[in-house]
A and B are shown apart, each in its own frame.
Chain A
Amino acid sequence: MHGRRRPGIAAALVVLGIFLCLFPGCGDLSRDELNRGVESLSALAAQGELIANGVARDATKSTYTRVMAKTLGGEAEHEAEKLADAEPEATVKSERNAAVHVAAELADLFSELQTFPGDEHHGVLVEKHMGEVKEQADAIVARLTGEPAK
C-alpha cells in the first residue's frame, strides 16, 4: 500500500481546502462554548477568592488550601489548554485570547496559593488578584453575551 496514490483522500483535502477558503470564520469553538468556558473560569476565580480569604484571615488549614489550590489550579490549566487548542470563530478570536490569558493567570494564582498556603500576606494579595481575574472573566462574558457584567 505504501507509495500508492489515494485519490479519495486527495479529493477530500481539496474539498476541505475550498471549504476553509469559503468559510474562514467557522472554527470549532463557538461563541456559546467560549462563553461557558469563561463562566467556568469566573466560577473558579470566585472559589479561589474564598479560599484565599481563608488564608488571609488565618482561618483555614494549610493542607486544605494546598489540595484545593492544586485541584482548582489543575482545572484552570486544563481550561487554558482547551481554549488555546481550540480554533475559535473569527468573531470571538480576541475574546478567546483574553480568556486564555485569564485562565493562565488563574492557574498562576492557584499555584501561588499552593506554594504559600499558610502565608497571610500572600493570601491577601491572591484574594485581591482573584477578584480582579474574576472581573476580567465577567467582562469577557459580558462582551460575549452583550449583557452587563455581574
Chain B
Amino acid sequence: MKSILKIALGIIAALGGFLDIGDLVFNTQAGALFRYDLLWAVALGTLGIAVYAEMCGRVAAVTGRPVFDVIRMRLGFGPGLVALVASTVVNLLTVAAELGGLAIILQLLFDAEFSLFVVLAAIGLVIVVALLPFGGIERIFGYCGLMMIVFVATAVHQSPDWGEVAHGFIPSLSSSKLYLYFVVGVFAAALMPYEVHFYSSGAVEEGWDKSSLRENRLNAAIGYALGGVLACALVVVSGYLFHPLGVEPGDLGTVALPAQGAYGETGLLLALGGMMFCVGGAAIDSSFSASYNLAQFLGWEWGRYRGPKIAPRFTVSWLIFLFLAMLIVLSGINPVEITEYSVVFAVVALPMTYLPILMIAGDRSFMGEHANGRISTTLGWVYFALIVVLAVAAVPLLLMTNGGGG
C-alpha cells in the first residue's frame, strides 16, 4: 500500500509533466492530420522519457544530486552555462505556454476576459505552492489529472478499427515534411527537458536514498506508461473524430470536443478538468524546474521543502519566472504558438540535458553497483542518437512547414 501511495511522484510527472499542453496540442493535431499513423512516435517518446527518468531518479537516489548539478559537474562551467541558458529559455517558454493554456481552459469554463484569467491563474499557482507541501501539490495535480482518463473511455466508446489503431504502433517514415515535423513534435513533447529536471529534483525534495530505487522504477514504469496511454488516447480520439472531417485543431478547446461527443456535458467537464490539472501541474513543474536549474547551477540553497526563509533566492527566482511567463502571455502571443515553439526549441536543448545524465548514470566509479546495466546503457545510447538526429532536424522542419502549418 505504501508503495502504491509513493508512486504519486511518477503520476504527477506523467500527468502534470509528461501530459502537458505540448502533448495536448501535438498529439491532437497529429491524430487529426495523420489519423493513427504517429502512435509509434508517442510510444517511442514515452519509453524514452521513462528510460531517462529512471536514470535521473536513480542518480538522485544514489548520489543525492539532481540533474543540473550533474550537468555542471560533467560539462564544466562554460558548457554548463550554455546548457543553463538554453534550458532556461525553453523552460520560460514552457511556463508561459502552460500558464496561457491554463487561462484558456479557465476561460472555457467561466467565460471572462482571457487576460484576467492569466493573472488569476498565476496568483492561483502562487497560492497553491505557498500553502501546500510538495507532496500535497503532487497529489492534487496528479490525482485530479486522472480525469484525463475520459479520453481513454472516449476512445473505447468511439470503437475505432482497433486493427488500424494497432497498425499505428508500427514505425513508419514518410517523405512528407509535415509528417516528419510531427514525428519530431510528438517525440519531443514526450521528452521535454523540464520533466527530468523536475523528476530528479523532486526525488531530492522527497529525500530519496538507495532504498527508494524500487519506488523509482515503479514511478518511471507506471507513471510514464499511464501518461503514454493517455497521450495515445488523445491521438486515437482525434484521429477518429477529426481526421475524416478535416478538422485542424489549432485551439486548446478543440481537444475536449471528442469527450463531449461521447459523453456530453459530463465528458466535456471531465476533459476540461483533467486538462486544467495537467496543464496547471506542468506550469508548476516547469517553473520549479527553471528555478531548480538556476539554483543548482549557482550553488544556492534550493527546494520547496526548505521554504522561502532558508532558500530565498530559489523562491524569488521561481516567482520571477512565473511573472515573466505571465508577461509573455499577456503580450498577446497565442499560447498554442508558444507551445509549438517551446517544444521544437526544446529538441535543440535535449542533447545537453540527456548526455550528462547518460554519462553519470553509467559511471561505475560514481554510481557503484547502481550504474546503468546493459539494457539501460543500450536504450540510453539509442535514444541519445535519436535525440541528436531530431535536434539537427527540428528547426529546419519548423521553418519548412511554417510551424506545422503546411
Contacts and interface: CB of A to CB of B under 8 A. Distances in A.
Interface of A: 36, 39-40, 42-43, 46-47, 49-51, 53-54, 57, 59-64, 66-68, 71-72, 75, 150
Contact of A68 (B248, B253, B265, B406): B253
B107 interface: yes
A72 B251 contact: yes
Contacts of B406: 36
A50 B247 contact: yes
A64 B108 contact: yes
Given A67-B108, A71-B253, 12 more contacts: A40-B248, A47-B254, A47-B257, A50-B245, A59-B260, A59-B268, A61-B109, A63-B109, A64-B260, A68-B108, A68-B251, A71-B251
B136 interface: no
Contacts of B251: 68, 71-72
B110 A60 contact: no
B252 to A, nearest CB: 10
A51 B248 CA distance: 14
Given A43-B246, A72-B251, A64 B261 contact: no
Given A64-B253, A67-B111, A47 B247 contact: yes
A51 B253 CA distance: 11
Interface string B111-124: 10000000000000
B105 to A, nearest CB: 10
B183 to A, nearest CB: 22
Contacts of A43: 245-248
B368 interface: no
Given A40-B248, A43-B247, A61-B268, A50 B261 contact: yes
Contacts of A40: 248
Interface of B: prevailing SS: helix
26 contacts: A40-B248, A42-B246, A43-B245, A43-B246, A43-B248, A46-B246, A47-B254, A49-B245, A50-B245, A50-B261, A51-B257, A54-B264, A59-B265, A59-B268, A61-B265, A63-B108, A63-B109, A63-B110, A64-B108, A64-B109, A64-B260, A64-B268, A64-B272, A68-B108, A71-B251, A150-B246
A39 B186 CA distance: 24
List of 8 A-B pairs having minimum Cβ-Cβ separation, nearest first = A59-B264, A63-B111, A46-B245, A43-B248, A46-B247, A68-B253, A64-B108, A67-B108
Contact of B269 (A46, A51, A57, A61): A61
Interface in B85-127: 107-111
Interface in B241-285: 241-242, 245-251, 253-254, 256-257, 260-261, 264-265, 268-269, 272
Contacts of B246: 39, 42-43, 46, 150
A73 to B, nearest CB: 12
Nearest to B242: A46
Contacts of B260: 54, 59-60, 64
Contacts of B109: 61, 63-64
A61 B106 CA distance: 13
B257 A67 contact: no
Contacts of B241: 50
A75 B251 CA distance: 11
Contacts of B256: 64
Nearest to B406: A36
Contacts of A60: 260, 264-265, 268
B322 to A, nearest CB: 24
A133 to B, nearest CB: 13
B254 A54 contact: no
B264 A57 contact: yes
A40 B406 CA distance: 11
Nearest to A64: B108
A62 B110 CA distance: 9
B301 to A, nearest CB: 43
Q: Tell me which of A36, A51, A61 has the highest count of chain B C-beta atoms within 10 A of its own C-beta.
A: A61
B104 to A, nearest CB: 8
Nearest to B114: A67
Contacts of A46: 242, 245-247
Contacts of B261: 50, 53-54
Contact of B107 (A47, A49, A67): A67
A51 B109 CA distance: 15
Given A50-B257, A60-B265, A66 B111 contact: yes
Nearest to B405: A36
B220 to A, nearest CB: 36
Contacts of B272: 64
A71 B336 CA distance: 13
A64 B190 CA distance: 28
A54 B268 CA distance: 10
Nearest to B107: A67
Nearest to A51: B257
A31 B269 CA distance: 42
A1 B12 CA distance: 67
Interface string B222-254: 000000000000000000011001111111011
